[in-house]
Amino acid sequence: MTRKAILRALYILVPLASALLTYVGLQGFFGWPVNPTDTTTILFEVRPDENVRQIARKLEEASLIRSPFTITTLAKLQKKDTLVMAGEYELSPSMSPQQILDSMVEGRMILRKVTIKEGSTIKDVGPILEQAGIATTSDFNAALQDTALLETLRVPASSFEGYLFPETYRFQKNTPPRKILEKMRSEFDKNWPSLWDARLIELEMTKHQVLTLASIIEKESGNVEEQPLISSVFYNRLAKGMRLQADPTVIYGIPNFDGNITKEHLTTATPYNTYVIQGLPPGPISNPGASAIKAALFPRTSDFLFFVGNGKGKHIFSETLDQHNDAVNIFQRGIGAQPDAPQETPAAQAASAQADSSPSTMP
């Protein structure tokens, strides 16, 4: 090969080699993780007010990238610098800068789990969210008072009580309370089949009235299987013009209830004291689950007017006050002998109530 040919080849090969080395170097810089073998999970938070440069510096401080330049340059070249999503991410030193950027742009954030149980009140929800680090109790309670939000979310009442569906939810840290309420209200709609609207017409009741009754059933029942029968007791009492006399409604109307219901509580007039008022209280006293709502819509047929707890998580139902008082004496006061086995006759089933005409007695 002539000298001229060698020089010509060098003119071609040197730039190619230089480009190749630059490419390999950049690939190493942008594509290699800090530590390929370190799979330790690090919880990394991107706040809504942070830009990509601030995020990159935090990633470096967390030893997730070698230099902020990697993330900022990748984000700019790929036009993703404004697409990073706020939230919490599980990242690792074994992830490359590209993988880290993709996780934040695609929103592969971790979600915190909370369970709102059947019968929880709206006052219960805030502390549950705060304990999980999702939202503060004060912020959530403030959202509950937002009358415009009630209207936006189609709640036909002055409170969200009854309309926040009990379920296990997953939210990211610092989720705005409005978004939480939207999700819980949406879940309620998903669990209200359209055929239930037809049932409202048959019952000549509004959805709000059914939810109110369902919330009482939820609070009175410790056993889901008994809910349709408990529902029948309340329907029978309403049909006869009897007061519902449900202790949970009284408790709901007592500010800062200390756990001890008294005779004064039962005789003090409040909008929720069903020992005093006729019919249903003005709204739900809890957030009932699907089974309680269904029981309120489809009560079992019975002639029962009373029920009393048997001390084993179930109830004894009865048709007459005398039967009921006998059951109260046996199961609440320990006077008399309990039957050896459950009986199906009305006389053997008494309803939870006080020794007057109330349908139930709190254990």
Give the Cα separation of 129 and 114 in Å (integer). Answer: 7
Adjacent-strand bridge partners of 90: 43
Look up tokens 């329907």; give the residue: 235
Judge whether 205 lies within some domain: no
Question: What's the pLDDT score for residue 259?
Answer: 85
Q: Quick one: 246 and 318 in the same domain?
A: yes
Pair (100, 138) in one structural domain: no
Residue 360, SS3 per DSSP: coil
Asked whether the beta carbons of 219 and 359 are under 8 A apart, the reply is no
Q: Are residues 20 and 57 in the same domain?
A: no
* Whether residues 219 and 333 fall in one domain: yes
pLDDT given for residue 353 in this prediction? 34
Strand pairing of 42-46 and 87-91? antiparallel
Residue with the two structure tokens 């954030």: 109
Residues of the chain with pLDDT under 70: 1-31, 334-363
Residue 12 confidence (pLDDT): 56
Residue 127 lies in a domain: yes
Q: How far apart are CA 245 and CA 15, in angstroms?
A: 91
Give the pLDDT confidence score for residue 176 in this predicted structure.
Answer: 94
Query: In this structure, are strands 42-46 and 306-309 parallel, antiparallel, or unpaired?
Result: unpaired
In a domain, 292, yes or no: yes
**Contact by Cβ (8 Å): 84, 108:** no
Query: Is 7 part of any domain?
Result: yes
Same domain, yes or no: 75 and 118: no
According to DSSP, the residues that pair with 219 across neighbouring strands are none
In terms of domains, do 156 and 272 share one?
no
The predicted structure's pLDDT at residue 1: 60
Q: Which residue has the tokens 């009865």?
A: 318
Per-residue confidence (pLDDT) for residue 265, from 0 to 100: 92
Check whether residue 37 and residue 23 sit in a common domain: no
Say what the pLDDT of residue 332 is. 75
In a domain, 201, yes or no: no
Residue-wise over 105-126: b if at least 16 C-beta within 10 A, else e?
beeebeebebebebbbbbeebb
Q: State whether 317 and 338 are in the same domain.
A: yes
Distance CA 324, CA 321 (A): 5
Are 136 and 250 members of one domain?
no
Closest CA to 215 of 230, 195, 194: 230
- What residues make up the domain containing 183? 114-190
Helices assigned H by DSSP within 106-206: 122-131, 137-144, 147-152, 177-190, 195-203
Q: For residue 297, which of 219, 148, 196, 191 has the smallest C-alpha distance?
A: 196
Give yes or no for a contact between 318 and 230, defined as CB atoms under 8 angstroms apart: no
Please tell me whether residues 325 and 224 are part of one structural domain: yes
pLDDT on residue 328: 87
Q: Give the Cα-Cα-Cα angle 30, 61, 40 (nearest 5 degrees).
A: 75
The reply to whether 79 and 7 lie within a common domain is: no
**Which residues on neighbouring strands pair with residue 306, listed in sequence order?**
318
pLDDT (tens digit per residue) in 66-89 = 999 999 999 999 999 999 999 999
Quote the pTM value. 0.78
Are 310 and 344 in the same domain? yes
Domain count, the chain: 4
State residue 355's pLDDT score. Answer: 35
> Taking the chain, what is the end-to-end CA distance rounded to the nearest angstrom?
104
Structural domain includes residue 299 = yes
Is 222 a member of any domain?
yes
Domain boundary among 76, 110, 144: 110
In a domain, 208, yes or no: no
Assign residue 37 the CATH number of its domain. 3.30.1490.480
The pLDDT, as a whole number, for residue 363 is 32
